[in-house]
Amino acid sequence: MAATKKLMSVRRDWRERDVRVVLAALIIAVATVATIALFASQLQRTLVSSASSFLAADRQLEAENGRPVPEPWINEATERGLETGRMVEFSTMVFGSDAFQLVSVKAVSNEYPLRGELEIQGSSEGSRVQVENGPAPGEVWINPRLLRLLDIQLGDTLEVGSRMLTVAGLVLREPDGGFSLSALAPRVMMHVDDVASTGVLQEGSRVKYVYLFAGEEASLERYYQWLQPQLEPSHEWEGVRDGETFSRSLDRAESFLLLGGSLAVLLAAVAVAVASRQYALSQRDTVALLKTLGLGSSGIGRLYLKRLALWGVTGMVGGLLVALPLFWVLTRLLSEALERPVPFQLDSAALTPALLTAVVSLFAFAYPPIRRLRNVPAMRVLRSQPGETGREALPDMLIAIVAVFGLVWLYAGEVSLVISLLGGLALLLGALGVLGWLLVATLRKVRGGGHAWRLALVGLYRHRRASLSQIAVFAMTLMLATTLILVRTSLLDDWQGQLPDDAPNHFLINIAPDAVDEVADYWEERGQPLDQLYPMVRGRFTELNGQPVKQVVSKDQRVGALNRELNLTWMPSLPADNVIVAGSWFEEGQTDGVSVEADLANALGLVLGDELTFTIGSDKVTANVTSIRTVQWDSMKPNFYMAFPPGGALTNMPATWITSFHLPKDRKSELNEFSRRFPTVSLLEIDNIIERIQEIVRQVTQAIEAILVLILAAALVVMAAVVSATLQDRQREGALLRTLGGRQSLLVRSTMLEFALLGGFAGILGVAAAEAAVWALQFRMFEGAFSWHWQVVLPIPIISAVVLSMFGRWQLRPVLSVSPMLLLRRLE
């Protein structure tokens, strides 16, 4: 079957323009979707594991009641195949050669950390090393600042209670340090078995026992179900979800990536649809001949089905060949950003949507027109038959719309995304209908003449069906591309705005009320003014409208805020980055009421007027919800779930003060002096974390940019598909015009004008539809306020008009350079 085989070979196919477009579109779609899906799942995994490493485990059980949990609980976990570890945390004074310092001790068992990395420096000249376990018995590792504060060296001894322990290393990074404001004084890390011998812990000491668990997600869940009924209020079970800080930012990146993927799918679908219709039209002569030579219509059907399958396989293989190296690069970037190895791990489930995209695109968009080839009459070999009217394509449209819905939904899992995009598209098609009607109504009266303008309008009218469908496809493409560009712009602006270079990178905690002014002056004098200072009272939310809160909202166990002590505050005015979403902020002089953070209010079902009771030490305070506000958690400033008015219910409660400020890297050494001057103020250094977040944002931005390029490539493919569809017709017309004596310059000008009009119309429609889609998206996915994007809205129609008219000029090239006779012959 050499000849038949050759007729159907992909290599031969590749030489045909329309097939190239279909294959290119498929490859781009598969590549984009695969890259995005792989990267998103990688991001997800990495995030969960870095969130896990904030706990140094997959789950933590904290006992804040100063007593260890019953031994059987831990044995049960071990029996269930979970890894376990334990830590004891407390504050105490330690003594160096002749200085002392309040430190925050973390005594860890051999297993620590179960997740994440611990980095230390073992000698004064040594480099950072990653270690698998904490210090050995008899040794301590300390925060480098303690060397100066206590005036000691590595190798010296440190007196902890009644024990002398050797300083064997400096803690540079601990997996579970950092984000928690309860990490108070500088760190001293020791072995848990040494704790008893120090004699520091007495009955009634403030101490926290922490148990670490790691293992299979399902086993952890089942263990928690077993454990939960036995937990007391002072026990807190913490999972990765609570460790979120920058996972919020990355959520948005993920949404964006998914949106990008959906757009790639849509663009590819349009390209495949246009090109395969074109291809089907071009195949009619071949089909007629094959029928004449004796191939039946079922044979024709099989032949083209085989070919579609070949395209599908080529698209999948090609797409994956593009996606894998790209994904590898992104993985490298991510690993650089996180400063730790991220395994190049192919999640085969993530590949399914990509491969499905190829199959659905082919069968929903390419198959219908190609299937109709079976109906081409054999008589066509003798006389050209009337072509398709376009009416046959109507059912195709329906299939296509359903398929697009399905794909985007499958892919993004976001109904609102599908609705926004399709809403934009529907709007666009509606506008197009009106435009079409106007075109027919107004241009009908224009008569051709020697004038380029008039010729261009006549041209538009004469090709009105082709013109409208071209405008439709261009507008659709522009809409999708513009949507993406707009969303990218607002996403990136938001991100960069969220962590400016002078974002606070240090917290001061535990400032005694009478030291507040002194601390503020200290930094003011050194040209480093503090952000606002907030009082902080630790309390537990215990009753809602007089009922124990754990009964009322027992269903949602994931509200971590219920399990632990909350930081309560009072503040005179609403912080600039908070937004009231219900109720109103406290009036001047108002002393009753409390303002609740919106996510928490949502999770607990709190509404305005609810009566909240907090237990603070042995006291209880009660207040009614007067406002609900959103909070910028990732602002690196102190944020509070509960805010009271000054002079309100909290006033007489024991408070310490907290603030954050920005200290440039080169002035880090000044912290030692500060700590000596204010030994009881805790300093939380988050500059490393901020740098990491900024780095991640930069790298993810690069990833997004790379994907954007892929998607714009898809848009170009669509454009090429559409324009090449009418190439021959236009060239033939141009040739005829010249044969009949039309001047070249007239032909050039009118064609360029015609295309400029096409491009302009398409640009205006596309941008308008994009704005509509972004408007809808902004509400649902990115929670931002909508604003017009003039800097994008204005240039796009102009660029599209210019580019298209250049393209029209370029298309005419063969018509102008060759004798009309030759051209007509060639186009025969």
Is 389 a binding residue for other proteins by CB under 8 A? The answer is no
Task: Specify the residue, 10 or 438, whose C-beta has the smaller distance to other proteins.
Answer: 10
| Number of continuous H segments (helices) and E segments (strands) in the chain | 27, 22
Task: Specify the residue, 92 or 278, whose C-beta has the smaller distance to other proteins.
Answer: 278
Secondary structure class of 814 (helix, strand, coil) = helix
CB of 392 to other proteins, least distance (A): 18
Task: Specify the residue, 206 or 302, whose C-beta has the smaller distance to other proteins.
Answer: 302
- The DSSP H or E segment spanning 354 is helix 348-360
Secondary structure class of 392 (helix, strand, coil) = coil
Tell me which of 138, 377, 742, 784 binds other proteins, using CB under 8 A: 377
Under rule CB under 8 A, how many of the chain's residues touch other proteins?
A: 27
Give the number of other Cβ atoms within 10 Å of residue 345's Cβ.
13
- The DSSP H or E segment spanning 162 is none
Q: Which stretch binds other proteins (CB under 8 A): 156-164, 291-299, 391-399, 456-464?
A: 291-299
The owner of tokens 């809808």 is 776
750, burial (CB in 10 Å: exposed 0-12, middle 13-18, buried 19+): buried
Task: Specify the residue, 675 or 731, whose C-beta has the smaller distance to other proteins.
Answer: 731
Is 381 a binding residue for other proteins by CB under 8 A? The answer is yes
CA 111, distance to chain mean position in Å, is 34
CA 644, distance to chain mean position in Å, is 34
CB of 737 to other proteins, least distance (A): 25
Tell me which of 10, 309, 317, 382 binds other proteins, using CB under 8 A: 382
Q: Which stretch binds other proteins (CB under 8 A): 247-255, 376-384, 746-754, 768-776?
A: 376-384
Give the number of other Cβ atoms within 10 Å of residue 379's Cβ.
12
Question: Are the C-beta atoms of residues 340 and 118 closer than 8 Å to each other?
Answer: no
Tell me which of 110, 286, 591, 615 binds other proteins, using CB under 8 A: 286
Give the separation between CA 147 and CA 142, rounded to whole angstroms.
8
Task: Write out the binding residues for other proteins, residues 75-94 only, by CB under 8 A.
Answer: none
Task: Specify the residue, 290 or 764, whose C-beta has the smaller distance to other proteins.
Answer: 290
Tell me which of 12, 67, 241, 248 binds other proteins, using CB under 8 A: 12
Is 297 a binding residue for other proteins by CB under 8 A? The answer is yes
Identity at 206, one-letter amino acid code = R
Q: Which stretch binds other proteins (CB under 8 A): 33-41, 290-298, 362-370, 481-489?
A: 290-298
Q: Which stretch binds other proteins (CB under 8 A): 82-90, 309-317, 375-383, 741-749?
A: 375-383
Is 7 a binding residue for other proteins by CB under 8 A? The answer is yes
Task: Specify the residue, 4 or 123, whose C-beta has the smaller distance to other proteins.
Answer: 4
Is 284 a binding residue for other proteins by CB under 8 A? The answer is no
Six-digit token pair at 287? Answer: 């089909």
Q: Which stretch binds other proteins (CB under 8 A): 2-10, 35-43, 153-161, 261-269?
A: 2-10
CB of 308 to other proteins, least distance (A): 18
In Å, the largest CA–CA distance within the chain is 109
CA 721, distance to chain mean position in Å, is 31
Secondary structure class of 140 (helix, strand, coil) = strand
Task: Specify the residue, 8 or 48, whose C-beta has the smaller distance to other proteins.
Answer: 8
CB of 293 to other proteins, least distance (A): 4
Q: What one-character DSSP code corresponds to residue 176?
A: T
Is 378 a binding residue for other proteins by CB under 8 A? The answer is yes
Six-digit token pair at 661? Answer: 């400020």
Q: What one-character DSSP code corresponds to residue 340?
A: S
CA atoms within 13 A on the CB side of 81: 8
Question: Are the C-beta atoms of residues 556 and 587 closer than 8 Å to each other?
Answer: no
Give the separation between CA 621 and CA 653, rounded to whole angstroms.
9
Is 772 a binding residue for other proteins by CB under 8 A? The answer is no
Tell me which of 204, 229, 294, 450 binds other proteins, using CB under 8 A: 294
CB of 307 to other proteins, least distance (A): 13
Q: What one-character DSSP code corresponds to residue 123?
A: S
Task: Specify the residue, 377 or 784, whose C-beta has the smaller distance to other proteins.
Answer: 377
Is 391 a binding residue for other proteins by CB under 8 A? The answer is no
Q: Which stretch binds other proteins (CB under 8 A): 242-250, 286-294, 411-419, 482-490?
A: 286-294
Tell me which of 71, 204, 383, 502 binds other proteins, using CB under 8 A: 383
Give the separation between CA 568 and CA 540, rounded to whole angstroms.
9
Tell me which of 70, 137, 296, 609 binds other proteins, using CB under 8 A: 296
Q: Kindly report whether the peptide bond that precedes residue 113 is cis, defined as omega within 30 degrees of 0.
A: yes
Six-digit token pair at 507? Answer: 């917290």
Is 293 a binding residue for other proteins by CB under 8 A? The answer is yes
Is 292 a binding residue for other proteins by CB under 8 A? The answer is yes
Task: Specify the residue, 300 or 360, whose C-beta has the smaller distance to other proteins.
Answer: 300
Question: Are the C-beta atoms of residues 104 and 91 closer than 8 Å to each other?
Answer: yes
CB of 299 to other proteins, least distance (A): 7
Is 379 a binding residue for other proteins by CB under 8 A? The answer is yes
Give the separation between CA 466 and CA 458, rounded to whole angstroms.
13
Question: Are the C-beta atoms of residues 648 and 591 closer than 8 Å to each other?
Answer: yes
Q: What are phi and psi of 191, to 5 degrees?
A: -85, 145
Nearest to 474 by CA among 757, 63, 195: 757
Question: Are the C-beta atoms of residues 468 and 757 closer than 8 Å to each other?
Answer: no
CB of 34 to other proteins, least distance (A): 32
Is 2 a binding residue for other proteins by CB under 8 A? The answer is yes
Task: Specify the residue, 17 or 340, whose C-beta has the smaller distance to other proteins.
Answer: 17
Give the separation between CA 468 and CA 435, rounded to whole angstroms.
8
Pairing of strands 59-63, 235-238: antiparallel
Task: Specify the residue, 228 or 292, whose C-beta has the smaller distance to other proteins.
Answer: 292
Tell me which of 99, 136, 181, 289 binds other proteins, using CB under 8 A: 289
CB of 272 to other proteins, least distance (A): 22
Give the separation between CA 622 and CA 644, rounded to whole angstroms.
11
Identity at 163, one-letter amino acid code = R
Task: Specify the residue, 288 or 485, whose C-beta has the smaller distance to other proteins.
Answer: 288
Tell me which of 34, 190, 207, 290 binds other proteins, using CB under 8 A: 290
Q: What one-character DSSP code corresponds to residue 778?
A: I
Interface characters, 13-42, with other proteins (x: CB under 8 A): --x---------------------------
Task: Specify the residue, 219 or 297, whose C-beta has the smaller distance to other proteins.
Answer: 297
Nearest to 106 by CA among 95, 94, 97: 94
Q: Which stretch binds other proteins (CB under 8 A): 7-15, 124-132, 190-198, 271-279?
A: 7-15
Task: Specify the residue, 346 or 381, whose C-beta has the smaller distance to other proteins.
Answer: 381
Task: Write out the binding residues for other proteins, residues 658-687 only, by CB under 8 A.
Answer: none
CB of 276 to other proteins, least distance (A): 18
CA atoms within 13 A on the CB side of 394: 3
| Residues found near other proteins in the complex (CB under 8 A) | 1-4, 6-7, 12, 15, 285-286, 289-299, 377-379, 381-383
